[in-house]
Amino acid sequence: MNNIAAVGLNVFENAENFQVNDEAVSPDGIILRSANLHDTEFDSNVKAIARAGAGVNNIPVQACTERGIVVFNTPGANANAVKELILTTIMAVSRNLFEGVKWTNELKGQGDMIPKLVEAGKKQFVGREVKGKTLGVIGLGHIGALVANNALDLDMDVIGFDPFISVDTAWNLSRNVQRALTIEQLFAASDYITVHVPLTDNTRNMFNKEAFSVMKNGAVILNFSRGELVNEEDMRAALENGKIGKYVTDFPNENVIGMKNVIPIPHLGASTSESEENCALMAARQMKEYLETGNIKNSVNFGNVEIPFTGKRRVTVAHKNVPNMVGQITAALSEYSLNIADMVNRSKGDYAYTLIDIDNQFNGDVIPGLTEKLSSIPDVILARII
């Protein structure tokens, strides 16, 4: 689905046993970008969905988990593209560049008068410099951390807020990024606020009238994360009364376009050829690895599981994270006199995944009856034999 860069699709085109078809009725896997899957009925054959990008709010992740469908994303693969657009936009809005270019284009037809009109008219677009201003960064993940570090190089003061920051990010973050202990502290300190969190029930509407009331007058908000993080009616009021100076959104809709001081951008955050290729390649490799070997990397609903694939027969079981699952699975294998060569069990929340390499040699595709035996264990969701 969507425009997936050829370099990613080539991962399958050049592989045995795979066909790429954007109209497949019964696919083993789906690769997509922002297409909305919430109303999609998945064929029972679907085993994995790979989001070539970061946000997975377009995928019914919980419903997928309950069916044992592994959902992947591509963490960090488009972060540089988003960071560059944010830094571009912070400077462009500070200099009223979008309005200035629009006004200038409208001078077409005024002939020799244009240079004079330009010199007389430019005073409407006097801007301000970002140097010395404070940028608040909410969410210091792959994108937020890059933005925070790079904004320091623009001589901005940077304050960040992320109660769930990963150890990796913390190591990479400049010590000159100040730490906000509460989001309100960041709101109150910032001239510019940029948000880089996933859309969840906890983050939806995080920009609302209570949030705006704590902010500096004229604060500029940049939203390259998801439109639903902002309560649009509260935003409309805050833009009208000048509490918010400008609202840059990568998620325009009928409601937001035309609001005073809105800068709508057509979801361009990740739209560079480099980013599209990084995401497509990562998504395709993760999908292929999972379908061929059962190994899981960068899934949002099952834990990472990796045993080097040696060609031994492999059993994979997605199941609920409840006691005695491994015991029941291994008991089923011993009923078939199967010896375990290697095994990993990894849980994530209420679900878990067990990967087992079998020592015995087999001819043919299946170990008769084993899939059914494993599937009949209560709380097993999906069993595969590879």
Ligand X SMILES: O=C(O)[C@H](O)COP(=O)(O)O
Ligand Y SMILES: NC(=O)c1ccc[n+]([C@@H]2O[C@H](COP(=O)([O-])OP(=O)(O)OC[C@H]3O[C@@H](n4cnc5c(N)ncnc54)[C@H](O)[C@@H]3O)[C@@H](O)[C@H]2O)c1
64 touching ligand X, by CB under 6 A: no
Spatial CA neighbour of 41 closest among 9, 21, 69: 69
CA angle, residues 190, 194, 198, in degrees to nearest 5: 135
Site for ligand Y in 54-73 (CB under 6 A): 54-55
Give the shortest CB-193-to-ligand Y separation in angstroms: 12
- Residue 374 contact, options ligand Y, ligand X, none, Cβ 5-8 Å cut-off depending on partner type: none
Near ligand X by CB under 6 A: residue from 8, 27, 53, 245 = 53
AA identity, residue 245:
G
Give the shortest CB-101-to-ligand Y separation in angstroms: 22
Give the shortest CB-267-to-ligand Y separation in angstroms: 6
Site for ligand X in 240-279 (CB under 6 A): 267, 269-271
- Residue 143 contact, options ligand Y, ligand X, none, Cβ 5-8 Å cut-off depending on partner type: ligand Y
Near ligand X by CB under 6 A: residue from 10, 34, 40, 104 = 34
Give the shortest CB-208-to-ligand Y separation in angstroms: 14
The Cα 382–Cα 42 span in angstroms is 15
80 touching ligand X, by CB under 6 A: no
Give the shortest CB-9-to-ligand X separation in angstroms: 15
β-pairing verdict for 262-264 and 244-249: parallel
Measured CA to CA in angstroms, residue 138 lies from 196, 212, 249, 334 at distances of 6, 15, 15, 51
Site for ligand Y in 206-265 (CB under 6 A): 224-226, 250
Stretch that binds ligand X, among 36-44, 52-60, 144-152, 179-187 (CB under 6 A): 52-60
Give the shortest CB-256-to-ligand Y separation in angstroms: 15
Tokens of 219: 């604060």
54 touching ligand X, by CB under 6 A: yes
Tokens of 216: 């500096």
Measured CA to CA in angstroms, residue 14 lies from 10, 270, 290 at distances of 6, 26, 17
Closer to ligand X by CB, 270 or 300: give it. Answer: 270
The Cα 182–Cα 186 span in angstroms is 7
CB neighbours of 301 closer than 8 A, spacing ≥ 6?
Answer: 61, 62, 64, 65, 70, 71, 348, 351
Closer to ligand Y by CB, 180 or 380: give it. Answer: 180
- CB nearest ligand Y: which residue? 141
Handedness of CA 16, 17, 19, 20 (dihedral sign): negative
CB neighbours of 186 closer than 8 A, spacing ≥ 6?
Answer: 136, 138, 159, 160, 161, 180, 193
- Residue 222 contact, options ligand Y, ligand X, none, Cβ 5-8 Å cut-off depending on partner type: none
Helix, coil or strand: residue 71: strand
Site for ligand Y in 144-173 (CB under 6 A): 144, 161-166
| Contact characters 92-131, ligand Y, x per CB under 6 A | ----------------------------------------
Helix, coil or strand: residue 314: strand
Binding residues for ligand X, total number by CB under 6 A: 10
Are 319 and 379 a contacting pair, CB within 8 Å? Answer: yes
The Cα 148–Cα 173 span in angstroms is 8
Closer to ligand Y by CB, 76 or 245: give it. Answer: 76
AA identity, residue 175:
R
The Cα 70–Cα 27 span in angstroms is 14
- Residue 139 contact, options ligand X, ligand Y, none, Cβ 5-8 Å cut-off depending on partner type: ligand Y
Footprint on this chain of ligand Y (rule: CB under 6 A): 53-55, 75, 78-79, 82, 138-144, 161-166, 196-199, 202-203, 224-226, 250, 267, 269-270
Footprint on this chain of ligand X (rule: CB under 6 A): 33-34, 53-55, 78, 267, 269-271
